[in-house]
């Protein structure tokens, strides 16, 4: 455990469309895969398929995100900028949208959790509309 190095936490308010985004994955059971992309849109509002509730201030990325990739999203400097949460897929004329909760929002959620000692569900499902 002495070899672990903590990640630096970025500031999602600094994110801009076109900024590079990176995700480490365990894609289909293959350990230590790496996906690259850009920030395609931020902030976005997406609707949960399971609950119908909107998810506010979400990051959209074109980094290849697949089921089971609910990990960290990093910027080009290696700063943690978001937590991968969901994706939307189309089949006709293929399209793919991938989303992450921005780190600034995660900070607020975590602070509320610590203050109120209540749980929260960050990602109600992987599929959005």
Average pLDDT over residues 10-31: 85
The pLDDT, as a whole number, for residue 76 is 92
Average pLDDT over residues 95-114: 82
The pLDDT, as a whole number, for residue 33 is 79
Residue 88 included in any domain: yes
| Three-state DSSP class for residue 14 | helix
Residue 91 included in any domain: yes
Which residues are CB-contacts of 10 (< 8 A; sequence separation ≥ 6)?
Answer: 74, 75, 77, 79, 80, 81, 103
Residue 65 included in any domain: yes
Comparing 126 with 29, which gets the higher pLDDT? 29
Tokens representing 14 are: 């600094």
Q: How far is CA 6 from CA 1, 23, 33, 94, in A?
A: 11, 16, 20, 38
Q: What is the pLDDT of residues 75-101, one digit of tens each?
A: 999 999 998 887 666 667 766 678 888
Say what percent of the chain tops pLDDT 70: 79
Print the domain residue range for 72.
12-116
Residue 58 included in any domain: yes
Q: What is the dihedral of CA 111, 102, 46, 25, to 10 degrees?
A: -110
Count of domains forming the chain: 1
Report the alpha-carbon distance of residue 113 to residue 89 in Å, rounded.
32
The CATH number assigned to the domain holding 92 equals 2.40.10.10
The pLDDT, as a whole number, for residue 103 is 92
pLDDT at 107 over 80: yes
Residue 97 included in any domain: yes
Residue 81 included in any domain: yes
Residue 7 included in any domain: no
Residue 75 included in any domain: yes
Comparing 116 with 72, which gets the higher pLDDT? 72
Average pLDDT over residues 49-75: 80
The pLDDT, as a whole number, for residue 75 is 93
């Amino acid at each position: 455990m002495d070899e672990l190095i903590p990640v630096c936490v970025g500031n999602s308010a600094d994110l801009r469309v076109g900024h590079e985004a990176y995700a480490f994955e365990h894609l289909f059971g293959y350990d230590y895969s790496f996906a690259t992309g850009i920030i395609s849109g931020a902030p976005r509002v997406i609707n949960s398929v399971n609950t119908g509730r909107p998810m506010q201030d979400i990051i959209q990325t074109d980094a290849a995100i697949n089921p089971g990739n609910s990990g960290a999203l990093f910027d080009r400097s290696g700063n943690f900028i978001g937590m991968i949460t969901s994706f939307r897929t189309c089949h006709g004329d293929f399209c793919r949208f991938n989303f992450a909760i921005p780190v600034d929002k995660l900070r607020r959620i975590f602070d509320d959790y610590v203050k109120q000692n209540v749980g929260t569900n960050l990602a109600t499902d992987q599929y959005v509309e």
